[in-house]
Amino acid sequence: MPWPFLLGRVALRTGVALWRHRLAVIVAGLLVVAFGAYEFTFAGPSGPSGAGDCADTAMTALTHVTDASARAAYACLGPEMRTTSEDQFVTTLQQRAAGNGQADRVADRHTPDGGKIVFYTVSAGDMPAVGYIVYLDPNGKVAKVE
């Protein structure tokens, strides 16, 4: 059989099958459009501008050091991360501040124990972007930062 005849036959049979199942194709198309519209209009952002978690709070304190952001970050630290008092933590964070930066949440993954691993890129001024990994414990507190 020649190729044009074979391709024409496949196209014809596909068209007939789609016509026979036109109601299902229309319903599936409407569902795709509805879910797409929902994602673009009602679903909120997952980054620091949304209702963030302790990982977002910690990265905000790192990139925009203020007294309030540093204290909020200290409140988000897990017990194993609290090696100093709150005032010492705030002072240390303010001393190490390199200026305002931009933290972008790249991805997050849930761990089997109920915690979460969150990946960030941070850029500040002329410095190249660096990556951070924030580990959250099952309670949502910061367990480790790399």
What confidence tier does 97 reach under pLDDT thresholds 50, 70, 90? confident
Give the highest mean pLDDT range of 19-28, 34-43, 115-124.
Answer: 19-28
3-class SS shares of the chain: helix, strand, coil, % to 5: 50, 20, 30
Mean pLDDT for the chain? 87
Q: At 113, is the secondary structure helix, strand, or coil?
A: coil
pLDDT at residue 87, as a whole number = 92
SS3 107: strand
Question: How far is it, in rounded angstroms, from Cα 125 to Cα 46?
Answer: 24
Q: Does domain 54-145 have CATH number 3.10.450.50?
A: yes
Give the CA radius of gyration of the chain.
25
Q: Is 15 exposed, middle or buried (0-12, 13-18, 19+ CB in 10 A)?
A: exposed
Taking the model in full, what pTM does it have? 0.61
